[in-house]
Amino acid sequence: MAKRYSRGEVVNGLRAQTQQGQAVLMFGAGTGLTAKCAEQGGADLIGIYSTAIYRMRGQSSLMAWLPYSNANEHLLHMAREILPAVKHTPCVAGIGAHDPELDLEAMFDRILGLGFSGINNEPFAGLYGPYFANQLERAGIGFSREVEMIRYAHARDIFTVAWVMSPAEATRMAEVGADVVGAMIGVTTGGISGASETLSLEQAAEDAQAMTLAAKQVNPDVIVLTHGGPFSDVETAQYSLDHSDADGYASGSSGERIPTEQAVIEITRRYKSIRVN
């Protein structure tokens, strides 16, 4: 079972890396096998959240933003399957904060009891786009619920990763004490079920930098990770860090779905090349 760490232990470990010039890597895992492999590869954090279950079913991760399932039930189900495969890497639980029936105190107690070391806000309202996200906010089930969840977790001294999609969101999450801000560009491109269109690499890096600067203006010590959009492999992840003041990268489809697709397709083709006498 995954080892639970205190907020201080996780933050100090990540900051020690950045001070040595080593980028932080958060790996989003939708199966126990990929989580186990990510740990073997040296991931600093393993994120477990509802979007990953869809991508590893061969569906778009956007399914987690549609009303066909309960994100928090998915999280708890996945945790039972994934956490036993992780031995020493801090795991972060993606919680959907918008459910009016969600008891955050009870949810936090439950995930900490399972072995999680932190929480993040996933699904997040920003992905819906300005119009619908604004309607959610007016209804009291929008981004502000995510902010309050991060604020409450910080008050309980729980490690937090906060996804944001704009400088304004980055500012608010840094103000309530997020330890890590994830500068989200959007759905990751590439592979069989990824987005087919996205921003240019240059524009994505500019957007990531704007979010990074907004967060660090509030808290110079906050750790910022780039994620999504055209940042879909090692080279583009490196580009995002070369052209921003971010401290690391968060992989999702880029670390799990796309490499799996490529590897399975290739090995299948190789097996199909076998001849019989």
User: What are the residues whose beta carbons fall under 8 Å from the beta carbon of 8, sequence distance 6 or more?
Assistant: 157
**pLDDT per residue as tens digits for the range 128-182:** 888 888 998 999 999 999 999 999 999 999 999 999 999 999 999 999 999 999 9
Residue located via tokens 């987690």: 64
Bridge-partner residues for 34, per DSSP?
none
Return the DSSP state at 255: T
Cα(111)–Cα(118) distance, rounded to whole angstroms? 9
Which amino acid is present at 143?
A: F
User: What are the residues whose beta carbons fall under 8 Å from the beta carbon of 134, sequence distance 6 or more?
Assistant: 142
Supply the CATH classification number for the domain 7-272.
Answer: 3.20.20.70
**pLDDT per residue as tens digits for the range 191-225:** 665 555 668 999 999 999 999 999 999 999 999 99
For the chain, percent of residues with pLDDT exceeding 90? 77
Q: Hey, is 45 helix, strand or coil?
A: strand
Q: Hey, is 161 helix, strand or coil?
A: strand
Mean pLDDT over all residues of the chain? 92
Q: What are the DSSP calls for 117-168, one per residue?
A: -EEEE-S-GGGG-HHHHHHHHHTT-SHHHHHHHHHHHHHTT-EEEEEESSHH
pLDDT at 19 over 60: yes
Cα(28)–Cα(32) distance, rounded to whole angstroms? 11
pLDDT at residue 132, rounded to an integer: 87
